[in-house]
Amino acid sequence: MTTPLVELDGVSKYYGNIRALEGVSLTVGAGEITCVLGDNGAGKSTLIKIIAGLHRHDAGSLRIEGEETVLGNPREALDRGIATVYQDLAVVPLMPVWRNFFLGSEPVRGKGPFRRLDVGLMRATTRSELLRMGIDLRDVDQPIGTLSGGERQCVAIARAVYFGARVLVLDEPTAALGVKQSGVVLKYVAAARDAGLGVVLITHNPHHASLVGDRFVLLKRGAMAAAHTRGAVTLDELTRQMAGGSELEDLAHELERPPAPPPAGPDRAEGA
Amino acid sequence: MSTTAPPASPGTAPGPPADERLLRTSLARRLMGRPELGSVVGAVAVFVFFSFAADSFLRPSSLDTVLYAASTLGVMAVPVALLMIGGEFDLSAGVLVTTSALVSSMFSYQMTANVWVGVGVSLLVTLAVGCFNGFLLTRTGLPSFIITLGTFLMLTGLNLGLTKLVSGTVSTKSIADMEGFASARAVFAETPVLGTTVKSTVLWWLLLVALATWILLRTRFGNWVFAVGGGAGAARAVGVPVRRTKTLLYTGVAFAAWVSGQHLLFSFEVVQSGEGVGNELTYIIAAVIGGCLITGGYGSAIGSAVGALIFGMTSKGIVFAEWNPDWFTFFLGAMLLLATLLNTWVRRRAEATR
């Protein structure tokens, strides 16, 4: 294949004396979906914050289209074609859909003091772009907070695609959604892939990952636990590794039916 | 959400959306979505009430007085509303007005310069204080309540201390006989219009409301103001310069404080250095009555103007009705509670279909 759009090689990140991420490598090519799997505290958020430009990495290298880079802020990442859709930070709930759609990249017309938002274009584009993604909006003037969680994710994805993103980073897009809504969101993820975008999909749901993923990276406690490509791994295997393999078996023992007086479970501090 | 899009006209979007799920977009329902609605209803009620309660209320001279009272507050309520939409407070706004007037007056007097020099210096100093507020807020991440409470107390002390140090008393010397006073008075105190004079604050007020409304609704900066107040994290993630936006909002408050300060100076010729304490809350009250959410992300400049108008009508209406003015704060408090309840209710409705 050609040069990957984004390539991480042995990337590490420390917060003071806390090791949030250590030696993580992954690749995303055009028209591919790379899934990053991990439990809470595995370092998934840290990883996307590095790709999105919110944090600088402390070690290892980040290459964008083959060129080694350190991203200083989200704007820089956007300019390099990397758009990130956050689970909870995707939109501003009280603002109308069309204002959200263009937030940060508003089109203007007119000159000098008469430079103003091109409201007509913004409304029309929002409506047609969402329709193109299959979202038939009731009213682009409604506050985006009135949309369902799945719809909000889809608006955010449609926005990224419209603004020419080449890499889409999705932070747990299906985490808070029901089965049907999750399916809808995954459909748009696949649509973005088919449009030639590279997608980094962060999730803790191996079922969703195995449905669309081309590559799988498993994180555990800040380090890489495994890396697979599609076809080389089964859903069961992925689920088992994801759930912690032997840890899950231990848990099964602990939860067995006639319980002895419950032993004090090891409280595991969450990293990062 | 419909998962399969009807193949209907993707290109002709701005036309009337004939969507069966949109039951009615009647005018009434659209008005419900406006932040000013509650305040306009309140303003009409207050107007009707005092028209009956005070015989002299409807006289032109009385309305003049009301308008003037509203405008002096309104000039400050506009940028304070913008700042509140941007999710922050400025408790130093009230005394900053006095600071601005003091700097202007004392600089001109001590340097025996043209008053316009003092006016210019005052603008720089006032804007610097605004920048300082914004800079501290965005760099430290502390709540604006604390930061501006700090600058409020510092400015209060500076106003009194420096004035005593320079003039020996708590008020400044009159600058009425100084060069440039007449022209500055025309700009900041009494503006000649068509053979008569109008209180300048009324004109400044109208100008600022129009400008702020334009900025809020039709510029990129306005979009960013709503965004940094409604979701700073989301705004930053899509590339909105959150820090710059907030700092500029504080500078806006400082600019209005400069206008108000110069108005004080050129109306009364002397400045009392202890003035302004408590006014910062009045500005916030006007903005909240006008529909600004105290948590940010929602509100309007026109609303703040209506809030200021309610304030003016109530404060002067009580005098015209020949009641004891002690009742004024009671009315103001009741108005604030009613407005906030109404706003909360409207917002819940706006988010109800979630």
> B254-263: per-residue pLDDT in tens?
999 999 999 9
Q: Which of A84, A94, A129 to mutate to test the interface with B (most CBs of B within 10 A)?
A: A94
Residue appearing with tokens 């089965």:
A179
CB A152 within 8 A of CB A173: no
For residue A127, which amino acid is it?
A: R
**Candidates A52, A92, A123; nearest CB to B230:** A92
Q: CB distance A92–B10 less than 8 Å?
A: no
**Candidates A102, A103, A126; nearest CB to B235:** A103
Instruction: Pick the residue from chain A with its C-alpha nearest to B293.
Output: A94
Question: If pLDDT is split at 50, 70 and 90, which confidence band does B233 have?
Answer: confident
Measured CA to CA, the distance from residue A138 to residue A130 in angstroms comes to 11
Task: For residues A146-167, give the mean pLDDT.
Answer: 83
pLDDT of residue B167: 85
Looking at A132-146, A213-227, B123-137, B146-160, which range is the least confident one? Answer: A132-146
Domain residue ranges in chain B: 36-344
Contact residues, chain A, for B353 at CB < 8 Å: 146
Task: For residues A241-267, give the mean pLDDT.
Answer: 65
CB B64 within 8 A of CB B197: no
Q: For residue B160, report the phi and psi dihedrals to the nearest 5 degrees.
A: -70, -50
Is it the case that residue B10 has pLDDT exceeding 70?
no
Q: CB distance B231–A92 less than 8 Å?
A: yes
C-alpha torsion sign, points A119, B238, A101, A121: positive
pLDDT of residue B307: 92
Q: For residue B95, report the phi and psi dihedrals to the nearest 5 degrees.
A: -75, -20
Higher pLDDT, B342 or B283: B283
pLDDT of residue B151: 95
Structure tokens at B349: 């409705």
Is it the case that residue B30 has pLDDT exceeding 80?
no
Q: CB distance A131–B219 less than 8 Å?
A: no
**Interstrand relation of B196-199 and A18-28 (parallel, antiparallel or unpaired):** unpaired
Is B164 near chain A, with CB under 8 Å?
A: no
Buried b (16+ CB within 10 A) or exposed e, A209-219: bbbbbbbbbbb
Is it the case that residue B308 has pLDDT exceeding 70?
yes
pLDDT of residue B37: 77
The fraction of chain A above a pLDDT of 90, given in percent, is 4
What's the whole-number average pLDDT of chain A?
Answer: 82
Measured CA to CA, the distance from residue B213 to residue B253 in angstroms comes to 15
Contact residues, chain B, for A128 at CB < 8 Å: 10-11, 13
- If contacts are CB pairs under 8 Å, which of residues 135-164 in chain A contact chain B? 135-136, 138-139, 141, 143, 145-148, 150-151, 154
pLDDT of residue B156: 94
pLDDT of residue B229: 92
Q: CB distance B2–A136 less than 8 Å?
A: yes
Measured CA to CA, the distance from residue A64 to residue A28 in angstroms comes to 10
Q: For residue B343, report the phi and psi dihedrals to the nearest 5 degrees.
A: -60, -40
Q: CB distance B351–A90 less than 8 Å?
A: no
Looking at A177-191, B28-42, B103-117, which range is the least confident one? Answer: B28-42
Measured CA to CA, the distance from residue A67 to residue A99 in angstroms comes to 34
Is A176 near chain B, with CB under 8 Å?
A: no
Q: Which of B1, B85, B292 to mutate to test the interface with A (most CBs of A within 10 A)?
A: B1
Structure tokens at A189: 């993820």
ipTM: 0.79
Q: CB distance A123–B14 less than 8 Å?
A: yes
Looking at A113-127, B204-218, B245-259, which range is the least confident one? Answer: A113-127
Measured CA to CA, the distance from residue B223 to residue A92 in angstroms comes to 11
Q: CB distance B238–A103 less than 8 Å?
A: yes
Q: CB distance A148–B354 less than 8 Å?
A: yes
At the topology level of CATH, where does A6-92+167-254 sit? Answer: Rossmann fold (3.40.50)
pLDDT of residue B202: 93
Q: What does R_g of chain B's alpha carbons equal in angstroms?
A: 22
What's the whole-number average pLDDT of chain B?
Answer: 86
Contact residues, chain B, for A88 at CB < 8 Å: 233
The 3-state DSSP class for residue A150 equals: helix
pTM equals 0.81
Looking at A39-43, A184-188, B114-118, B274-278, which range is the least confident one? Answer: A39-43
Contact residues, chain A, for B237 at CB < 8 Å: 52, 54, 74, 84, 86, 89-90
Is B216 near chain A, with CB under 8 Å?
A: no
Residue appearing with tokens 């390539």:
A7
Is it the case that residue B94 has pLDDT exceeding 90?
yes
The fraction of chain B above a pLDDT of 70, given in percent, is 88
Structure tokens at A73: 């802020």
CB B217 within 8 A of CB B34: no
Task: For residues B36-55, give the mean pLDDT.
Answer: 86
Q: In B179-282, where do the E strands start and end?
A: 190-193, 196-199
Higher pLDDT, B22 or B101: B101
Question: If pLDDT is split at 50, 70 and 90, which confidence band does A258 have?
Answer: low
Measured CA to CA, the distance from residue A235 to residue A211 in angstroms comes to 9
- pLDDT tens digit string along A164-217? 888 989 888 887 777 877 888 888 888 888 888 899 998 888 888 888 888 888
**Interstrand relation of B190-193 and B196-199 (parallel, antiparallel or unpaired):** antiparallel
The alpha-carbon gap from A44 to the nearest alpha carbon of chain B, in Å, equals 17
Higher pLDDT, B98 or A46: B98
C-alpha torsion sign, points B113, B116, B120, B125: positive
Question: Between the ranges A57-71, A127-141, B120-134, where is the mean pLDDT highest?
Answer: B120-134
Question: If pLDDT is split at 50, 70 and 90, which confidence band does A244 have?
Answer: low
Is B26 near chain A, with CB under 8 Å?
A: no
Is it the case that residue B267 has pLDDT exceeding 50?
yes
Q: CB distance B238–A134 less than 8 Å?
A: no
- pLDDT tens digit string along A102-120? 988 888 888 877 888 888 8
- pLDDT tens digit string along A141-151? 888 888 877 78
Measured CA to CA, the distance from residue A38 to residue A40 in angstroms comes to 7
Higher pLDDT, A182 or B1: A182
The CATH class, in words, for B36-344 is mainly alpha
pLDDT of residue B8: 40
Candidates B199, B163, B166; CA nearest to B276 is B163
Domain residue ranges in chain A: 6-92+167-254
Structure tokens at B34: 């406006």
pLDDT of residue A270: 46
- If contacts are CB pairs under 8 Å, which of residues 30-69 in chain A contact chain B? 52, 54
Question: If pLDDT is split at 50, 70 and 90, which confidence band does A271 have?
Answer: very low
Looking at A147-151, A255-259, B294-298, B326-330, which range is the least confident one? Answer: A255-259
**Candidates A116, A120, A151; nearest CB to B219:** A116
Is A201 near chain B, with CB under 8 Å?
A: no
Contact residues, chain B, for A148 at CB < 8 Å: 1, 354
Size of interface A-B (CB pairs under 8 A): 139
Task: For residues A45-58, give the mean pLDDT.
Answer: 86
Cβ-Cβ contacts under 8 Å for A172 (sequence gap 6 or more)? A44, A87, A202, A203, A204
Candidates A56, A34, A2, A24; CA nearest to A167 is A34
Is it the case that residue B31 has pLDDT exceeding 70?
no
Candidates B78, B89, B79; CA nearest to B150 is B89
